[in-house]
Protein backbone atom coordinates (compact mmCIF):
# COMPACT_ATOMS: atom_id res chain seq x y z
CA UNK A 1 0.00 0.00 0.00
CA UNK A 2 2.12 2.85 -1.28
CA UNK A 3 2.92 5.45 -3.88
CA UNK A 4 4.99 5.54 -7.07
CA UNK A 5 8.00 3.99 -5.29
CA UNK A 6 6.01 0.78 -5.03
CA UNK A 7 3.83 1.22 -8.13
CA UNK A 8 6.80 0.73 -10.50
CA UNK A 9 6.53 4.29 -11.80
CA UNK A 10 8.13 4.67 -15.23
CA UNK A 11 8.59 0.90 -15.61
CA UNK A 12 6.63 -2.14 -16.64
CA UNK A 13 4.75 -3.54 -13.63
CA UNK A 14 6.72 -6.80 -13.80
CA UNK A 15 9.97 -4.85 -13.32
CA UNK A 16 8.86 -3.37 -10.01
CA UNK A 17 10.04 -4.62 -6.63
CA UNK A 18 6.51 -5.58 -5.59
CA UNK A 19 6.12 -7.97 -8.52
CA UNK A 20 9.61 -9.28 -7.82
CA UNK A 21 8.50 -9.88 -4.23
CA UNK A 22 5.60 -12.03 -5.47
CA UNK A 23 8.02 -14.12 -7.56
CA UNK A 24 10.40 -14.55 -4.60
CA UNK A 25 7.59 -15.61 -2.29
CA UNK A 26 6.40 -18.20 -4.81
CA UNK A 27 9.90 -19.53 -5.50
CA UNK A 28 10.55 -19.94 -1.78
CA UNK A 29 7.30 -21.78 -1.09
CA UNK A 30 5.33 -19.03 0.62
CA UNK A 31 1.63 -19.13 -0.17
CA UNK A 32 1.07 -15.40 -0.23
CA UNK A 33 -0.69 -13.55 -3.03
CA UNK A 34 0.70 -10.03 -3.31
CA UNK A 35 -1.72 -7.23 -4.16
CA UNK A 36 -0.05 -4.00 -5.21
CA UNK A 37 -2.44 -1.31 -3.98
CA UNK A 38 0.04 1.48 -4.71
CA UNK A 39 -0.94 4.65 -6.56
CA UNK A 40 1.58 6.98 -8.13
CA UNK A 41 1.35 10.47 -6.66
CA UNK A 42 -0.45 9.24 -3.53
CA UNK A 43 -0.10 11.21 -0.31
CA UNK A 44 -0.80 9.91 3.17
CA UNK A 45 -4.09 11.80 3.04
CA UNK A 46 -5.11 9.89 -0.08
CA UNK A 47 -3.99 6.65 1.53
CA UNK A 48 -5.99 7.43 4.63
CA UNK A 49 -9.07 7.98 2.46
CA UNK A 50 -8.76 4.61 0.71
CA UNK A 51 -7.18 2.28 3.30
CA UNK A 52 -10.35 0.85 4.80
CA UNK A 53 -11.88 0.08 1.42
CA UNK A 54 -8.65 -1.61 0.30
CA UNK A 55 -8.51 -3.67 3.50
CA UNK A 56 -12.14 -4.77 3.08
CA UNK A 57 -11.59 -5.62 -0.58
CA UNK A 58 -8.33 -7.57 -0.26
CA UNK A 59 -8.49 -8.89 3.34
CA UNK A 60 -4.69 -8.96 3.77
CA UNK A 61 -2.79 -10.80 6.48
CA UNK A 62 0.16 -8.43 6.18
CA UNK A 63 0.41 -4.90 4.78
CA UNK A 64 3.61 -3.19 3.70
CA UNK A 65 2.81 0.49 4.26
CA UNK A 66 4.97 2.75 2.07
CA UNK A 67 3.61 6.29 1.98
CA UNK A 68 4.86 9.77 2.80
CA UNK A 69 7.31 10.61 0.03
CA UNK A 70 4.84 12.86 -1.76
CA UNK A 71 3.88 14.56 1.51
CA UNK A 72 7.54 15.39 2.09
CA UNK A 73 8.18 16.54 -1.45
CA UNK A 74 5.18 18.87 -1.17
CA UNK A 75 6.34 20.17 2.21
CA UNK A 76 3.10 19.12 3.91
CA UNK A 77 2.97 19.46 7.70
CA UNK A 78 4.88 16.67 9.44
CA UNK A 79 2.11 16.23 12.02
CA UNK A 80 -0.45 15.65 9.27
CA UNK A 81 1.74 13.00 7.62
CA UNK A 82 2.37 11.31 10.96
CA UNK A 83 -1.32 11.35 11.92
CA UNK A 84 -2.35 9.88 8.57
CA UNK A 85 0.22 7.09 8.83
CA UNK A 86 -0.87 6.37 12.42
CA UNK A 87 -4.51 6.19 11.28
CA UNK A 88 -3.60 3.71 8.52
CA UNK A 89 -1.53 1.57 10.88
CA UNK A 90 -4.45 1.43 13.31
CA UNK A 91 -6.89 0.57 10.51
CA UNK A 92 -4.61 -2.22 9.32
CA UNK A 93 -4.40 -3.67 12.81
CA UNK A 94 -8.17 -3.37 13.34
CA UNK A 95 -8.65 -5.39 10.16
CA UNK A 96 -6.65 -8.23 11.70
CA UNK A 97 -3.58 -7.73 9.52
CA UNK A 98 -0.04 -6.97 10.59
CA UNK A 99 1.83 -3.93 9.28
CA UNK A 100 5.40 -3.39 8.14
CA UNK A 101 6.25 0.30 7.93
CA UNK A 102 8.56 1.26 5.07
CA UNK A 103 10.24 4.57 5.82
CA UNK A 104 11.19 7.32 3.43
CA UNK A 105 13.62 10.21 3.60
CA UNK A 106 13.44 13.42 1.65
CA UNK A 107 16.20 15.49 0.04
CA UNK A 108 18.03 17.89 2.38
CA UNK A 109 16.98 20.98 0.41
CA UNK A 110 13.84 21.21 2.59
CA UNK A 111 16.05 22.36 5.45
CA UNK A 112 17.45 20.40 8.38
CA UNK A 113 14.52 21.01 10.72
CA UNK A 114 11.86 19.72 8.32
CA UNK A 115 14.07 16.92 6.97
CA UNK A 116 14.89 15.59 10.44
CA UNK A 117 11.32 15.91 11.69
CA UNK A 118 10.09 14.07 8.61
CA UNK A 119 12.58 11.24 9.05
CA UNK A 120 11.57 10.85 12.71
CA UNK A 121 7.95 10.15 11.74
CA UNK A 122 8.75 6.56 10.84
CA UNK A 123 10.97 5.64 13.79
CA UNK A 124 8.54 7.29 16.19
CA UNK A 125 5.50 5.51 14.81
CA UNK A 126 7.26 2.14 14.69
CA UNK A 127 8.21 2.50 18.34
CA UNK A 128 4.82 3.81 19.43
CA UNK A 129 2.84 1.18 17.50
CA UNK A 130 5.37 -1.60 18.14
CA UNK A 131 5.61 -2.25 14.40
CA UNK A 132 8.55 -3.49 12.38
CA UNK A 133 10.28 -0.77 10.38
CA UNK A 134 12.54 -0.46 7.39
CA UNK A 135 14.00 3.00 8.14
CA UNK A 136 14.70 3.95 4.51
CA UNK A 137 13.27 2.07 1.55
CA UNK A 138 15.86 3.49 -0.86
CA UNK A 139 18.97 2.97 1.29
CA UNK A 140 21.99 2.57 -0.99
CA UNK A 141 19.87 3.40 -4.05
CA UNK A 142 18.61 7.00 -3.85
CA UNK A 143 22.01 8.68 -4.17
CA UNK A 144 23.39 6.35 -6.85
CA UNK A 145 22.40 7.54 -10.32
CA UNK A 146 23.07 4.05 -11.73
CA UNK A 147 19.93 2.88 -9.94
CA UNK A 148 17.68 5.90 -10.39
CA UNK A 149 15.52 7.15 -13.24
CA UNK A 150 16.49 10.53 -14.75
CA UNK A 151 14.03 12.29 -12.40
CA UNK A 152 16.29 11.37 -9.48
CA UNK A 153 13.26 10.27 -7.44
CA UNK A 154 12.32 6.80 -8.67
CA UNK A 155 14.45 3.67 -8.90
CA UNK A 156 15.04 2.35 -12.41
CA UNK A 157 14.81 -1.31 -13.45
CA UNK A 158 18.32 -1.98 -12.08
CA UNK A 159 17.36 -0.40 -8.76
CA UNK A 160 14.19 -2.43 -8.21
CA UNK A 161 15.95 -5.64 -7.06
CA UNK A 162 17.90 -3.49 -4.61
CA UNK A 163 14.66 -2.12 -3.16
CA UNK A 164 13.48 -5.69 -2.65
CA UNK A 165 16.85 -6.53 -1.08
CA UNK A 166 16.24 -3.73 1.43
CA UNK A 167 12.71 -4.91 2.24
CA UNK A 168 13.34 -8.66 2.40
CA UNK A 169 15.37 -8.91 5.66
CA UNK A 170 12.69 -6.98 7.56
CA UNK A 171 9.80 -8.76 5.87
CA UNK A 172 11.01 -12.37 6.01
CA UNK A 173 10.65 -12.79 9.81
CA UNK A 174 6.99 -11.74 9.46
CA UNK A 175 6.14 -14.40 6.92
CA UNK A 176 4.40 -17.69 7.63
CA UNK A 177 4.61 -20.74 5.43
- Which residues are the active-site residues? 4, 151, 154
Burial zone of 166 (CB within 10 Å; 0-12 exposed, 13-18 middle, 19+ buried):
buried
Q: How far apart are CA 50 and CA 76, in angstroms?
A: 19
- Could you give phi then psi for residue 100, rounded to 5 degrees? -115, 120
Q: How far apart are CA 160 and CA 162, in angstroms?
A: 5
Q: How far apart are CA 59 and CA 139, in angstroms?
A: 30
Which contacts of 30-36 are long-range, i.e. CB under 8 A and separated by 24 or more positions? 30/175, 30/176, 30/177, 31/177, 32/61, 32/62, 32/175, 35/60, 36/6, 36/7
β-strand 133-134 against 98-102: which pairing, if any?
A: parallel
Bridge partners (DSSP) listed for residue 148: 155
Amino acid sequence: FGDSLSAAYGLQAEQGWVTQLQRRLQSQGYGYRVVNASVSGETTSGGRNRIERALAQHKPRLVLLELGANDGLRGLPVKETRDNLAFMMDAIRRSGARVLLLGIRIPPNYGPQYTQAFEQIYAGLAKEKKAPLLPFLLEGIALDERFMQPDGLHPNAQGQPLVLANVWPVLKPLLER
